[in-house]
Amino acid sequence: MSGEVVRPTSISQLLPNMKSVNLTFIVLDVGQSRRTPQGHDVRTIRVADPTGSVLMGVWNDVGDKICSGDIWRLRHHGHQLIKL
């Protein structure tokens, strides 16, 4: 780890291609899984925090672990998703 501290991010602060994210959210809705031409499973989920909601794509087995009502944290440049 680099020791870099990333401040908490809210959904209202998200920007396209944002790299450093520390976002805690609740899952509102989990869409159906679909397969890409490359063989990956992807699904769209709607997530929210007190500042708003947004659609997020989740890939492969991560999508199978997510349920409506779950609280998750997305950290470290979007590479770590932790169920709380």
For the segment 39-68, what is each residue's pLDDT rounded down to a tens digit? 999 999 999 999 999 999 999 988 889 999
- What range defines the domain where residue 57 resides? 24-83
Query: Is residue 16 a part of any domain in this protein?
Result: no
Q: Does residue 72 have a pLDDT over 70?
A: yes
- Paired tokens of 26: 């609740």
76 DSSP 8-state letter: T
* Between 75 and 76, the higher pLDDT residue: 75
**What is the pTM for the complete model shown?**
0.83
For the segment 6-35, what is each residue's pLDDT rounded down to a tens digit? 788 899 999 888 888 899 999 999 999 999
- In order of 40, 77, 81, the CA distances from 84 in angstroms are 26, 18, 10
Residue 41 domain-assigned (yes or no): yes
- Block residue for tokens 């501290």: 5
CATH code of the domain containing 72: 2.40.50.140
Are 34 and 41 within 8 A, CB to CB?
Answer: yes
In a domain, 5, yes or no: no
Spatial separation of the C-alpha atoms in residues 25 and 5, rounded to whole Å: 19
What pLDDT, on the 0 to 100 scale, is given for residue 79? 67
